Amino acid sequence: MYVAVKGGEAAIDNAHRLLADRRRGDRSVPALTLDQITEQLAIGVDRVMSEGSLYDRRLAALAMKQARGDLIEAIFLVRAYRTTLPRFGHSEPVDTGAMLIERRVSACYKDLPGGQLLGPTFDYTHRLLDEDLEGDPQVETGLQRGGIQEPVMRVADILDQEGLIEDDGAIDPALEPGDINQTPTEFPMSRAMRLQSLSRGDEGFLLALGYSTQRGYARSHPFVGEIRIGEVDVDVFMPELGFAVPVGRIQVTECQMVNQFKGSAKAPPQFTRGYGLVFGQSERKAMAMSLCDRALRAEELGEDLVAPPQDQEFVLSHCDNVQATGFVEHLKLPHYVDFQAELGLVRTMRAEYEQCTGEAVLETREAAE
Amino acid sequence: MNIAVDQAARRDRMAVLARCSTERLNSLWAKLGLQPAHTPLRGPEAGLVMLRGRIGGTGEPFNVGEATVTRASVTLEDGSVGHAMALGRDHAKVRLSAVIDALCRNAEMAARIDAELIQPMRQELEVADETRRQQTAATRVDFFTMVRGED
């Protein structure tokens, strides 16, 4: 027999009303505007864009406001919104070499063409809370330095001249990259689809896995070949015009991680690379992504599979925080019937157990007598 | 007109229209004093494009994630068709961009629009880029070597 139980409608309505009330908080405090969020919580907004897998700062800011600052909830909202829009097509691949650079550093070369450009970084700050920010102090604009600027060369191209670093390989123009939104998950997954998955993966999860590769779970000796942050042009092919049309610019963070490689039967000793490309200013995420990308290439490079970061199924099935939170959080929803069934089972097992131990005690006593 | 030159000019115009701010576009458009009658062919409508990168920066393409875009196509009374597409969800801006694209099918009108609307906006965008470049340049590390010891 199955008895459907209904109820809770009024409680749910009232809970949502209370949520809206608490979200707004003290009415004597001015409400946040989306401009304030996009301008002043920009890196949080970028995280919501990249893990929500939707480049739209204003929507990400709206999601953050609605989610009361719960970033995973905001990412969930953005992912849900995405499904309401039609897909018009895809862009031409963005050219990160032609980026309008806002930051570019390399840990491999001190004096590389284009130089070390620190940009707006938290690095070298003392991590001391600035009590002035309790108010709204006057802040100076960034200094400018004129003069002719060198082109900012890719680090991979520098090493490539000596043949000591793997190149990106030949491009098969007929090959379409798979799309994890439109194909059921199957392992092994192509590197293109792995990168898509990692680019929207949870920053914390990828950070922890990347960290584990440095600590010895999957041998890797990484150097930051280059990190660059800046804006790239987006072109979309319009069939009605017959050519690709510029539709604007996006900000991205790119990380080239360079790893030692002892060589294999097929390849000489050289440096290999892990790659990270993430929406917005998301340096930590791009670095973690490139570490994970490199670890996931273990099989391709003939390395022993010994640690979780090298395991495609482990990494890619668990890096999506919307999936993860959905499955973990569903546990709090009513499981009354399931639990009743298990309760009955445990009662039966307990009764059998007690009967057995009872008999065993009796037997022992009898044996002693 | 040479097809390649015309296409390049159209592309450049579209690049400026896609990136300009709506307020700036509206104010320059108002100064032009044009009010061409037009009918929508499609949109403006918002949708998604999948943004692609390349593995390792220059290798095989891969899908990074989507972006919101808005597209519109219009026809003018003389039959000229204009198209526009821009990141974001600003319907009014994209509709106006499509009208401007349609007007620019006429060479004389294109010259006027380029001079009075596109060129000033392009210049402002270039100035903004240059400011960014120079702000970044100010954070460039100038290494110096400390000489120690006797040699």
Inter-chain touch A56–B47, beta carbons under 8 Å: no
Residues 65-94 of B with CB under 8 A from A: 65-69, 71, 73, 83, 85-89
Chain B residues with beta carbon closer than 8 angstroms to that of A297: none
Looking at the partner chain, which of A55, A119, A247 has a beta carbon nearest the beta carbon of B65? A55
For residue B50, the one-letter residue type is: M
Write down the pLDDT at residue A1.
59
Inter-chain touch B85–A101, beta carbons under 8 Å: no
Q: Choose from B45, B58, B122 for mutation: most chain A CBs within 10 A.
A: B58
Chain B residue with Cα closest to A255:
B56
Write down the pLDDT at residue A337.
85
pLDDT single digits (tens) B22-39? 999 999 999 998 889 999
pLDDT single digits (tens) B27-72? 999 999 888 999 999 989 999 999 999 999 999 999 999 999 999 9
pLDDT single digits (tens) A12-38? 999 999 999 999 999 999 999 999 999
How many contacts does A have with B, using Cβ atoms within 8 A? Answer: 220
Three-state SS sequence of chain A: CCCCCCCCHHHHHHHHHHHHHHHHCCCCCCCCCHHHHHHHCHHHHHHHHHHHCEECHHHHHHHHHHCCCCHHHHHHHHHHHHCCCCEEEEECCCCHHHCEEEEEECCCCCCCCCCCECCCCCCCCCCCCCHHHHCCCCCCCCCCCCCCCCCCCCHHHHHHCCCCECCCCCCCCCCCCCCCCCCCCCCCCCHHHHHHHHHCCCHHHHHHHHHHHHCCCCCCCEEEEEEEEEEEEEEEEECCCCEEEEEEEEEEEEEEEEEEECCCCCCCCEEEEEEEEEECCCHHHHHHHHHHHHHCCCCCCCCCCCCHHHCHHHHHHHCCHHHHHHHHHHHHCCCHHHHHHHHHHHHHHHHHHHHHHHHHHHHHHHHHC
Q: Does A142 touch chain B (CB under 8 A)?
A: yes
Nearest-angstrom CA–CA distance, B43 and B61: 29
Nearest-angstrom CA–CA distance, A130 and A212: 33
Q: Closest approach of chain B CAs to the CA of A136, in angstroms?
A: 23
Give the pLDDT band (50/70/90) at residue B1: low
Domain ranges of chain A: 10-82, 96-121+150-169+182-326
Looking at the partner chain, which of B51, B58, B141 has a beta carbon nearest the beta carbon of A234? B51
